[in-house]
């Protein structure tokens, strides 16, 4: 696979971008113990550089089908900037880049200010026409969403991407909206942000039982949460891999059954004949049927309800779970009904909120029972699956093998995905892996949205059409007179 570099391409210090930088970037990123480029070097026989603007990757015959795409996505880092720095350590000086903006000022934890590169090498490329219209872009960071929204309302920030369905439904009864000074819009998109889920840490002995995980999953009343908390703004996520056919709609194909047949003794028999179904409720808070089903499953797994507490029949110890999260308190109102439902079947769950540093320390040391996580899976998954679901990663301290899976069926499907040689093979193996994750109840899939909710002050203008994949402000512009009149 060959790449020819643009001969005018430079980093923002005017240092030319060469094949040496590509090699440095490849070696650095593929040597990391985690990430989408980890282990990619195993499929490269050698790298040749016929010229400073020409690089050739010689691929081994058994390379994964998606490897050329992943190579094309490789970021190019400046070797001369990083050669005397530790790439693994945090720095507070601005890293050198090659794009249309460079970092001008940093206030740690509060602000990153970027200014437009006037002599940006790519400004005249056709792909960049109409983009990068602001001389300065400032990103403000807030620890609290309420404070961030107040900053927007007061005019300290120009645009606000709304992430709270309740605030979108009830928080915009503003004079500025009525006067037309603030505009807002829901912009449909076809993006996938990855699968959001409540994740079980099955390293814990009491969560290793499939029946226990299934019983806990029954206590998430999605229909009530959707109606009572989200104002019906989201859809229940029904697949870890949203680009494949939903296993909730169809039984497994013949090809999937053949792939999974060697593991029939460890997989639920229903997986081979039925589509996966999510618990359905009326959305009125009444989940008596699900409670009864959950208690039956827990009883079969060796637990019984005694005076309002779920007690293990052998150890006589109650079931207590710890759910960890970071961020503001808004998440707590979402997960609290789930916790209350668990309490009705005798399970005591403690919700622990912490700062980001402490949260990642707990993840690395696997000190939790459940947490919420968004798996950043590609449209066509590959090597990153090793980090999240493969048994080889179960003891890694990078915080990505949250579930702690050691499932031979999962391992086999991941290896089939990585080594797929056709689109059909890739999708069959991905669908089979998806069914395993769902039927084994390794996590409880949450929800997703299909629109961007954005509000902005009227001096910002945008193109008539929005792209179906991705959204940012780099095609917007400012009309200065409107800004001054505001």
Please report the pLDDT score of residue 261 as a whole number.
Answer: 97
Element (H, E) at 222: helix 222-228
Q: Using the predicted structure, report yes or no on whether residue 37 has a pLDDT greater than 90.
A: no
**Which token pair is 286?**
């009444």
pLDDT surpassing 70 at residue 483: no
pLDDT at 479 over 90: no
Q: What is the mean pLDDT of residues 338-362?
A: 95
In the predicted model, what is the mean pLDDT of residues 343-369? 94
297, 214 in Cβ contact below 8 A?
Answer: yes
Say if CB 51 and CB 19 are below 8 A apart: yes
Structure confidence at residue 191 (pLDDT): 75
pLDDT for the residue numbered 250: 85
pLDDT greater than 90 at residue 398: no
SS3 (DSSP) at 28: helix
Q: How confident is the model at residue 485 (pLDDT cuts 50, 70, 90)?
A: very low
Residue 354 pairs in a beta bridge with 326
Mean pLDDT of 337-342: 96
Tens-place pLDDT, residues 78-131: 999 999 999 888 888 899 999 999 999 999 889 999 999 999 999 999 999 999
CB-based contact 1:56 (threshold 8 Å): yes
How do residues 270-283 score in pLDDT, each as one tens digit? 999 999 999 999 99
| Predicted local confidence at residue 245, as pLDDT | 59
Q: What is the pLDDT of residue 39?
A: 80
What pLDDT score does 484 carry?
A: 45
- H helices of 306-446, where? 330-343, 356-364, 384-389, 408-418, 423-439
Can you tell me the mean pLDDT for 50-63? 93
Rounded to the nearest integer, the mean pLDDT of the chain is: 91
Most confidently modeled of 59-73, 148-162, 179-193? 148-162
Confidence of residue 373 (pLDDT cuts 50, 70, 90): very high
pLDDT number for residue 486: 40
User: Which one has a higher pLDDT value, 410 or 250?
Assistant: 410
Percent above pLDDT 70 for the chain: 97
């Amino acid at each position: 696979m060959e790449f020819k570099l643009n001969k005018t391409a430079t980093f923002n210090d005017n240092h030319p971008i060469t094949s040496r930088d590509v090699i440095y970037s490849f070696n650095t990123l593929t040597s990391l113990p985690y990430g989408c480029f980890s282990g990619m070097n195993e499929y490269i026989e050698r790298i040749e550089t016929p010229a400073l603007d020409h690089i050739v990757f010689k691929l081994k015959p058994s390379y994964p089908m998606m490897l050329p795409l992943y190579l094309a996505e490789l970021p190019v880092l400046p070797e001369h900037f990083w050669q005397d720095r530790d790439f693994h350590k945090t720095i507070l000086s601005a890293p050198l880049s090659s794009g249309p903006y460079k970092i001008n000022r940093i206030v740690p934890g509060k602000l990153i200010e970027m200014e437009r590169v006037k002599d940006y090498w790519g400004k005249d490329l056709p792909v960049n026409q109409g983009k990068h219209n602001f001389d300065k872009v400032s990103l403000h960071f807030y620890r609290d969403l309420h404070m961030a929204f107040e900053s927007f309302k007061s005019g300290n920030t120009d645009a606000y991407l709304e992430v709270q369905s309740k605030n979108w439904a009830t928080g915009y009864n503003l004079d500025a909206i009525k006067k037309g000074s603030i505009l807002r819009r829901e912009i449909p998109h076809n993006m996938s942000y990855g699968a959001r889920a409540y994740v079980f840490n099955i390293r814990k002995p009491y969560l290793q039982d499939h029946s226990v995980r299934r019983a806990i999953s029954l206590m998430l009343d999605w229909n009530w949460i959707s109606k009572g908390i989200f104002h019906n703004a989201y859809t229940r996520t029904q697949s870890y891999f949203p680009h494949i056919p939903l296993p909730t709609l169809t039984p497994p194909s013949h090809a999937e059954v053949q792939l999974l047949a060697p593991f029939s003794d460890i997989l639920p028999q229903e997986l081979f004949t039925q589509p996966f179904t999510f618990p359905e409720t009326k959305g009125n808070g009444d989940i008596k049927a699900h409670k009864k089903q959950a208690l039956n499953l827990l009883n079969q797994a060796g637990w019984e309800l005694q005076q309002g507490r779920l007690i293990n029949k052998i150890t006589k110890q109650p079931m207590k779970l710890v759910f960890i999260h970071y961020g503001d308190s808004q998440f707590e109102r979402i997960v609290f009904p789930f916790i209350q439902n668990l309490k009705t079947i005798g399970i005591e769950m403690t919700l622990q909120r912490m700062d980001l540093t402490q949260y990642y320390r707990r993840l690395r040391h696997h000190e939790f029972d459940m947490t919420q996580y968004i798996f950043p899976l590609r449209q066509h998954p590959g090597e990153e699956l090793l980090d999240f679901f493969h048994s080889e990663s179960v003891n890694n301290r990078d915080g990505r093998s949250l579930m702690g899976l050691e499932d031979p069926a999962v391992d086999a499907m991941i290896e089939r995905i990585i080594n797929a040689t056709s689109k059909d093979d890739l999708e069959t193996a991905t669908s089979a892996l998806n069914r395993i994750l769902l039927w084994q109840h390794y996590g409880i899939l949450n929800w997703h949205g299909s629109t961007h909710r954005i509000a902005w002050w009227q001096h910002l203008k945008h193109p008539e059409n929005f792209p179906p994949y991705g959204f940012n402000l780099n095609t917007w512009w400012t009309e200065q007179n409107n800004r001054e009149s505001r």
